[in-house]
Amino acid sequence: MNGTTAPISARDRDAIMQALAAGVVPRNGLRHIQVGRSIEVAALLADIERIGNDGAAIRFIVGEYGAGKTFFLNLIRLIALEKKLVTIHADLAPDRRLLGRDGQARGLYAEAVRNMATRTKPDGGALASIMERFLTDAVRDAEATKVSVDKVIDAKLAPLQDEVGGYDYTVVLKAYLRGSENGDDHLKTGALRWIRGEFTTKTEARSVVPVRNIIDDANVYDSLKLLGSFVKIAGYGGLLAVFDEMVNLYKLQHPQTRNANYEQILRIINDTLQGNVRSVGFLFGGTPEFLLDTRRGLYSYPALESRLAENTFAKGGLVDMSGPVIRLQSLSPEDLLILLSNIRHVMAGGDASKYLIPDEALKAFMTHCSQRIGEAYFRTPRNTIKSFVHLLSILDQNPGTDWRQILGTVQVAPDTAGQLDLASANGDGDELFNLKL
């Protein structure tokens, strides 16, 4: 039985179930369905702590399509928010990449910053609230020290001027603060647009904010580092940048373009591992071919292959989470059983008396999937989850339907020692969340 007793709102339930039915990761409510991955989560939690202590981290989360990469990345992002980090995230696409000439890199940066989130604004659009918090703290510090607000702001932002592009960044930040003090919404909006990388020409930007440069394809990475430094100054733990669908770099047809992006990744790895960047972490999600293919993947670039090579001693069940690459392990049958139980619990709105199917049906469904799909039903669980949600939807919309008729004549042996047993498993998934947050 599921151990969660708190009810789940109809809004959260519908959002979670609709996302799962479509084969995508729910935006919220991950704690209701999270299972397994405890070793991987522990490793990323250590990274988050390192970022909060003025360190840096970089990880490549690698798994097959449907193996749960996006779910895992979103889970880590939510944990980072709970640890008072600021997060940004975006998916790579044909028109969004780490390095480009026609706005592709700026487009990726702009999308990521639009999705900027904090613990109080987890759905994105948090840049303005971060700026206002910085201003409020500066005013309070000025009152406490009996000096002008401008002097306090100058002192706080002084470290930014030591970084590449820091002078312009500081000028834009001060322009926003000046606009806030004077009620100049046009100036405030222009400053936000500049930091979000929304200006496409220097002329357009200069007509709004007093700088001659903009965030463009050539300085996206430097701008991310500046953003990390600023959110730290503003009182947050640091910045976590999450980029998924890295396989789009693998798909680039032109070797020079692909290698240029791989060189950018190499630069990020070197800076992160050598301590040249602080309070910033990077998570990249991709498929095995994106990493391992020696013709077009990261391993096609010798310097990256040497840095990302896995520990040769990590065999025979031994794991090593100290390297940059984390290969998502397959869900065990026990994990999948708990996951199905959690989904059943969400469908019932957190009320065990409204379960549409008994524990027996969960095991029958797993047997059904095993016979139809084989081991892939827990190695890449996306389609299995979709099918299970569809089963629950049929039962919900057709009262009186027997789940046995839908699954056919699947026989489930009674539980014995060593077999899957829901009664002995805490199916709420919160044991992981409560331990780690």
Q: Is the pLDDT of residue 303 over 70?
A: yes
- Which whole number is the average pLDDT over 284-305? 95
Please answer whether residues 229 and 123 qualify as being in contact, where contact means their C-beta atoms are separated by less than 8 angstroms: no
Retrieve residue 125's tokens: 């659009």
Q: Is the pLDDT of residue 150 over 80?
A: yes
The span from the CA of 252 to the CA of 248, in Å, is 7
Please answer whether residues 202 and 212 qualify as being in contact, where contact means their C-beta atoms are separated by less than 8 angstroms: yes
pLDDT band at 411 (very low <50, low <70, confident <90, very high): very low
Q: b/e per residue, 84-118, with b = 16+ CB within 10 A?
A: ebbbbbbbbeeebbbbbeeebbbbbbbbbbbbbbb
Q: Is domain 37-119+226-327 in CATH 3.40.50, yes or no?
A: yes
Q: Is the pLDDT of residue 427 over 70?
A: no
Give the model confidence (pLDDT) of 73-107 as tens digits: 988 999 999 999 999 999 999 999 999 989 999 99
| Top-confidence residue, 132 or 433 | 132
User: Which residue ranges make up each domain of the chain?
Assistant: 37-119+226-327, 127-217, 333-436
Give the SS3 label for residue 150: helix
The span from the CA of 432 to the CA of 208, in Å, is 48
The span from the CA of 225 to the CA of 221, in Å, is 6
DSSP calls for 307-348: HHPPPTT--TT----SSSEEEPPPPPHHHHHHHHHHHHHHHT
Q: Is the pLDDT of residue 127 over 70?
A: yes
Retrieve residue 322's tokens: 């100290």
- Supply the pLDDT for residue 188: 94
The span from the CA of 128 to the CA of 320, in Å, is 40
Please answer whether residues 215 and 227 qualify as being in contact, where contact means their C-beta atoms are separated by less than 8 angstroms: no
- Which whole number is the average pLDDT over 192-219? 94
